[in-house]
Amino acid sequence: MILVGGQGTRLRPLTAKIPKPVVQLVDRPFISYMLEWLIGHGIDDVIMSCGFLADGVRSVLGDGKQLGIRLRFVEEPEPRGTAGALKLAEPMLDERFLMLNGDVLTDIDLSAQIAQHERTGARGTLALVPVADPSAYGLVVLEEDRSVRDFVEKPSSDTAASNLISAGAYVLEREILELVPPGRNVSIEREVWPVLVGDGLYGFPSESYWLDIGTPARYLQGTFDIIEGNVQTAVQERLGSDWLSVDEDADVRGRVIPPALLERGVHVAEGAHVGSLVVLGEDVSIGAGSVVERAVILRGSKIGAGCELRDCILAADCRVGSRTKITGGAVLGEGVSVGADNVITRGARIFPGVQLPDRAIEF
């Protein structure tokens, strides 16, 4: 069961019109990475727990046949929390199942986690990953046998008894549903895990790749990690050994530096410089003399001549006038139009449909 009921507010404006699970990440909907990861570990039946814009998720993913899995949906009538959403899906769950946070990009070894769960006779096994600064997280402290001893919320860095945090991937026995009251908002982290401490709750520490794609900065980081091969995904097959994928229908007259991925219909004009760490969606156009580095530009967006785009995200169908600079983590929502000679930087977020005339902003 994958929890995808959130509104994705931290990722706006990318999620202003599109449900977060189906926002494009490199060359596919974000949730596809999780589905492919599950399939790689022998999972063939997935329940999507939806809330916000549920129909949009269902319309993109369908019933899973194209991926070779069974895909079912359960929709929260109102926000029920992590355990409340699980309780809603109770009639669809087997005696043992996985519960996953749908915001995560990871390649944790689920098969090894399931094997440990079986070996220890656990009621619940939490995937855990280390973090450099434990003071910003709720930590999980383990005994030597990997049973959970304690949960510690945001300790100071010099007193932290652990550097492990929950990775949002749980192997669970159906019996834990008895601990979840029906019909209300219930947090599995705050109301279920504490009850199971010392009573069948274990941790599975992992050094695998893990990233919560919750903000534009992390969306960019996830994109870069995928096209650099820092996380194991099917995209690596497209990029090959030279870390470059340029569709045969792309028209590239400028320079492209890997790692980069250019889709069908892309046009890169003479004198333009694209890469490294760039994704250009279908029918994107880059004008003469423009520079695009460390950026994602999605389907149908058109960039004028002499522009500078660095460390930024442009959603579908944006228009950027000549000599405009978009840098510093700025994000343009779908259909944004920016005239010539503008400067948009410092994490500015321009929401869908906004139109800015020439020389309107120097943020």
pTM of the model: 0.89
Please state the length of the chain. Answer: 363
Residue at a domain's end among 215, 246, 275: 215
93 shares its domain with 140: yes
Q: Is the dihedral of CA 229, 232, 235, 238 positive or negative?
A: positive
- 215, 250, 272 - which closes a domain: 215
Task: Give the 3-state secondary structure of residue 57.
Answer: helix
**Do 202 and 240 belong to one domain?**
no
| 350/331 Cα distance (integer angstroms) | 6
Give the SS3 label for residue 67: helix
* 224 & 183 share domain: no
The CATH number of the domain holding residue 181 is: 3.90.550.10
pLDDT 10s digits, 140-150: 989 999 999 98
What is the C-alpha to C-alpha distance for residues 218 and 224, in angstroms, rounded to an integer? 10
Does 88 fall in a domain? Answer: yes
Q: What is the pLDDT of residues 207-247, one digit of tens each?
A: 999 998 888 999 999 999 999 999 999 898 899 989 999 99
Contacts of 86 (CB under 8 A, 6+ apart): 1, 49, 93, 99, 177, 180, 188
Range of the domain at 41: 2-215
Residues 155 and 221 in one domain: no
Mean pLDDT of 100-124: 94
Same-domain status, 332 and 267: yes
Tens-digit pLDDT profile for residues 10-41: 788 888 777 778 888 999 888 889 999 999 99
57 lies in the same domain as 147: yes
Do 225 and 301 belong together in one domain?
yes
What single letter denotes the amino acid at residue 35?
A: L
Q: Which amino acid would we find at residue 199? A: D
Residue 95 lies in a domain: yes
The pLDDT of residue 54: 61
Helix%, strand%, coil% for the chain, nearest 5: 25, 30, 45
- Give the 3-state DSSP-derived string for 232-250, with helices as H, strands as E and coil as C: CCCHHHHHCCCCEEECCCC
User: Cα separation of 105 and 190, whole Å?
Assistant: 23
Same domain assignment for residues 253 and 145:
no
Whether 276 has a pLDDT exceeding 80, the answer reads yes
Question: Token pair for residue 309?
Answer: 């785009």
Q: How many structural domains compose the chain?
A: 2
* Shared domain check, 160 and 236: no
> Per the domain annotation, does 361 fall within a domain?
no
pLDDT at 349: 94
Q: What is the CATH number of the domain that holds 351?
A: 2.160.10.10
Location of structure tokens 């019996």: 175
Tokens 């931290």 correspond to 10
Give the HSE-up count for residue 251: Cα atoms under 13 Å, Cβ half-sphere.
10
Shared-domain flag, residues 179 and 285: no
* Per-residue model confidence (pLDDT) at position 56: 66
Alpha-carbon distance of 289 to 275, in angstroms, equals 13
Phi, psi of 257 (to 5 degrees): -110, 125
What percentage of the chain exceeds 70 in pLDDT?
Answer: 94
What gap in Å lies between CA 358 and CA 363, rounded to an integer?
A: 14
Which tens digit of pLDDT belongs to each residue from 160-190? 567 898 899 999 999 999 998 888 888 888 8
pLDDT above 70 (res 55): no
**Taking a C-beta distance cutoff of 8 angstroms, is the pair 338, 318 a contact?**
yes
Say whether both 204 and 177 belong to one domain: yes
Long-range contacts of 191-196 (CB under 8 A, 24+ apart): 191/83, 192/83, 193/124, 193/126, 193/148, 193/151, 194/151, 196/123, 196/124, 196/148
**Nearest alpha carbon to residue 209 among 228, 232, 186, 189:** 232
- Is the residue at 363 inside a domain? no
What is the DSSP track for 3-40? EE-S--GGGTTTTSSS-GGGSEETTEEHHHHHHHHHHH
363 confidence band (pLDDT: 50, 70, 90): low
d(C-alpha 77, C-alpha 122), whole Å:
32
Is the same domain home to 192 and 327?
no
Identify the domain boundary among 194, 215, 236: 215
